[in-house]
Amino acid sequence: MKVCIAEKPSVARDIAEVLGAKQRKDGYYEGAGYQVTWTFGHFCTLKEPQDYQPAWKFWRLEDLPMIPASFGIKLINNDGVKKQFGIIEKLIQNCEEVINCGDAGQEGELIQRWVLLKAKCNKPVKRLWISSLTEEAIREGFQKLKDSEQYNNLYAAGSSRAIGDWLLGMNATRLFTKKFAQSKVVLSIGRVQTPTLAMIVQRQKEINAFVSEEYWELKTLYRETEFIATIDRLRSQEKANKGLAYLKEHLFEIIAFEKKDAKEGNPRLFDLTALQVEANKKYAYSADETLKHIQNLYEKKLVTYPRVDTTYLPEDMYPKIEGILQSMVYYKALTAPVLAQPIPKPKTVFDDKKVTDHHAIIPTDILPANLSTEEKRVYDLVARRFIAAFYPECKVANTAVMGKVGQVVFKATGKQVLEAGWRDVYAHEAKAKKDKEGEEAEKIMPVFEVGEHGPHEPWIHQGKTTPPKPFTEASLLRAMETAGKQVEDEEMRELLKDNGIGRPSTRANIIETLFSRKYIEKKKKNLFATQTGIDLIDTIQNELLKSAELTGIWERKLRMIEKGSYEPASFKQELIDMVVELTREVKMSSAKSISIAPEPMVKSAPAEKNEIPKKESKPKTTKEPLSIEQLHCPKCKTHLLKKGHSAYGCANYHACGFKIPFEILGKKLSDKQIIDLLSKGKTGKIKGLKIPGNDQEIEGKLVMDESFNVGLE
């Protein structure tokens, strides 16, 4: 008898149907030489602190860090879990072979391996690895069963991830709670959760610190085309009026005209993060909601495995594409142009080297039926993206025109769609947008001749500078995927995925955890850090805990473990070293405790009576730092140090490279000016500045740009 262990009852039922195991027993199906049973989520978990040492049951600073000699697992304390595990254990004892039919990903591998480990399985184990739950996929998967050993590295990566999260989460949460929390509250720290929160808090602080300023721009209308002056925005109405008067004295002259044909590449197939981003943008679905909807579609056999981080298909899938397109009868009008000619095989779709455990999310050849509104919408996103991948590229004409009025240079740009290509798949969206916002014909820029000139209609546009945009779930998911880097280019984003924080399947849960702990809140589609979240991040002085970039490096090492190119023991030791150093650093800290909104103390690790510090009055804070050294490096957030007699620099200068000299443009800066530059990104007006090579003194503001270079405004 062969025992198949699926990840949930519904999947077990599908597998049993295909295998011919028709008899329903208590906790499994049987027939045709198979017994098909199931888990439902995690049956096992890493042991809790008190399972290693009884004294670790209590939250005491002197017991930290907690480093078990070796990690063990135990059954979750749940009657349903215990009963079903007992059935699995008995089936394994009496079988000749086990087939692991768990979720075909890292988490699924971990769940099943822990069950087999706990059941003391010593039977041969095979692995079913499939990307969809259709009858054809299941049948084909059983014809090509893999040896379990092929997935040892995947299990090692999952186990290392769990151990790493235990080491940091258990120790850091107790450490910060005991050191800094007032009353019986928990300051929750996590390997991925904390840097994610830190990104939101940092954005929140930038928004809070932003001071809107008025500005004026010079614009003009020439041959029904709007041009904008290329000079810097004007900071006073008086200067704008003078500029307008000047423009009225001169004709408009064309000095350059360039029109280039270009192509807009097809959108990539969906990985889970991209699907969550798109669903959030179009329908305001949370990452967690989208994951649930696409998981339902997968279990209904309508799409392929969703918890993926690749946007590519394997090359051997190419012959199946035509059949899938033909099966999509609800999209017949869109698939017809693709099926009318040989289906293309672009490298942006098919690439074996870019496929990881699974391929991108695509529809199966099963016709959808009985879907909820939300499921229909998510299915439609996947279906249209799949069809669009095989359409021609969109051809456009990009136009750039330069003109001048007297000595003031103006610019106008425009784009014209020549051949819609893949955009035809989304024509309904473009029409809906026009209907909503008012019908607006596409503006086609006229052809200009260099040297032509004539009258124009100048005017002043008055505006206000706007703060950075708050995170939405869409932009936060992208930031997690790229470890905080702002990346629009699809190809560059693919390269950064190995260094993203969290996994596609866990990011939704991380965001939900931040909501549940009241560290963030949502207003419309925007995410904001609560005061609780801000206070928590401000309490954490160790930059490693808050760094998305460094957390991304850990993620890359976990992927290397998955590929067999990094040792799990090395990863574990790095986390141990960090926890030991973090504990020493926090214990020695003289920072006062802070008041943070309560979160119930976890039941599994109760505190002793009077163990949590008693509530103290909240320390008074000053609006301005007492010294420059109390500010953080704007580049890497480490604290600043005085570097000799010439500059302030990052404490981690050898890696970061940031410094700010005492003297800039011939002017020695005051402490306040340096503080303003570091905290606000600009100084007030400074007199006596000198441009290099020019002895004339001028007045202006020093401004720090996005690359942390200081320039003159």
Question: For residue 621, is pLDDT > 50?
Answer: no
Q: At what angle do helices 373-388 and 272-283 cross, to 10 degrees?
A: 120
Name the pLDDT band for 612 (thresholds 50, 70, 90).
very low
Identify which has the larger pLDDT, 89 or 486: 89
Which residues is 253 bridged to in the sheet? 404, 453
Identify which has the larger pLDDT, 90 or 642: 90
* pLDDT at residue 162 in the model: 94
Q: Each residue of 478-494: b (16+ CB within 10 Å) or e?
A: bbbbbbbbebeeeeebb
Q: Three-state SS for 682?
A: strand
Question: For residue 685, is pLDDT > 90?
Answer: no
Q: Does domain 2-144 have CATH number 3.40.50.150?
A: no
Domain spanning 272-388 has what CATH number?
1.10.290.10
| Placement of tokens 């149907």 in the chain | 17
- pLDDT, tens digit (0-9, with 9 covering 90-100), for 490-545: 666 666 667 788 888 889 999 999 999 999 999 989 999 999 899 999 988 888 88
- pLDDT, tens digit (0-9, with 9 covering 90-100), for 325-346: 999 999 999 999 999 999 999 9
Q: Of 38-42, 81-85, 86-90, which range is least confident?
A: 38-42
* pLDDT at residue 217 in the model: 96
Rounded Cα–Cα distance for residues 421 and 388 (Å): 9
- Name 577's Cβ contacts closer than 8 Å, sequence gap at least 6: none
Name the pLDDT band for 691 (thresholds 50, 70, 90).
low
- pLDDT, tens digit (0-9, with 9 covering 90-100), for 125-137: 999 999 999 999 9
* pLDDT at residue 598 in the model: 47
Q: Residue 322: what residue type?
A: E
Where do the domains of the chain lie? 2-144, 161-208+469-588, 214-264+394-462, 272-388, 628-712
Q: Which residues are identified as catalytic?
A: 305
* Beta strand ranges found along 293-445 (DSSP E): 394-405, 408-419
Q: Residue 679: what residue type?
A: S
Rounded Cα–Cα distance for residues 537 and 531 (Å): 10
Give the mean model confidence (pLDDT) for residues 465-473: 94
Tokens (6 digits) for 594? 């802070």
Name the pLDDT band for 674 (thresholds 50, 70, 90).
confident
Classify strands 710-712 and 702-704 as parallel, antiparallel or unpaired. Answer: antiparallel
Contact of 52 with 65, CB cutoff 8 Å: no
Rounded Cα–Cα distance for residues 523 and 483 (Å): 24
Identify which has the larger pLDDT, 148 or 487: 148
* pLDDT at residue 501 in the model: 87
Winning range, highest mean pLDDT, from 379-388, 477-486, 543-552, 663-672: 379-388
Superfamily of segment(s) 161-208+469-588: Topoisomerase I, domain 2 (1.10.460.10)
Judge residue 58's burial from the number of C-beta atoms within 10 Å of its C-beta, 0-12 exposed, 13-18 middle, 19 or more buried. middle
Strand order from edge to edge, sheet including 471-472: 471-472, 526-529, 520-523
Report the candidate in 5, 275, 313 with the shortest Cα–Cα distance to residue 132: 313
Q: Is the peptide bond before 65 cis (omega within 30 degrees of 0)?
A: yes
- Name 146's Cβ contacts closer than 8 Å, sequence gap at least 6: 126, 127, 128, 129
Question: For residue 610, is pLDDT > 60?
Answer: no
Q: Three-state SS for 688?
A: strand
Rounded Cα–Cα distance for residues 489 and 493 (Å): 6
Predicted TM-score (pTM) of this structure: 0.76
Contact of 269 with 361, CB cutoff 8 Å: yes
* pLDDT at residue 620 in the model: 38
Question: For residue 396, is pLDDT > 80?
Answer: yes
Q: Of 29-38, 199-208, 560-569, 614-623, which range is least confident?
A: 614-623
**Per-residue CA distances from 590 to 180, 396, 537, 619 (Å):** 10, 62, 17, 13
- pLDDT, tens digit (0-9, with 9 covering 90-100), for 192-205: 999 999 999 999 99
Give the mean model confidence (pLDDT) for residues 415-442: 74
* Helix segments in 630-690, DSSP class H: 653-656, 671-680
**Per-residue CA distances from 382 to 336, 368, 488 (Å):** 18, 12, 21
CA count, 13 A, side-chain hemisphere, 613? 19
Report the candidate in 478, 500, 480, 487 with the shortest Cα–Cα distance to residue 558: 500
Tokens (6 digits) for 89? 């254990």
Which residues is 400 bridged to in the sheet? 258, 413
Rounded Cα–Cα distance for residues 690 and 667 (Å): 8
Rounded Cα–Cα distance for residues 198 and 551 (Å): 12
What DSSP assignment string belongs to 524-557?
A: TTEEEE-HHHHHHHHH---HHHH-HHHHHHHHHH
Give the mean model confidence (pLDDT) for residues 671-697: 77
Rounded Cα–Cα distance for residues 466 and 274 (Å): 27
Domain spanning 214-264+394-462 has what CATH number?
2.70.20.10
- Name 699's Cβ contacts closer than 8 Å, sequence gap at least 6: 685, 686, 687, 688, 689
In this structure, how many other beta carbons lie within 10 angstroms of the beta carbon of residue 123? 15
Report the candidate in 442, 495, 490, 475 with the shortest Cα–Cα distance to residue 266: 490
Tokens (6 digits) for 352? 């074996």
Question: For residue 161, is pLDDT > 80?
Answer: yes
Contact of 219 with 459, CB cutoff 8 Å: yes
Residue count of the chain, please give it.
713
Tokens (6 digits) for 211? 């001071």
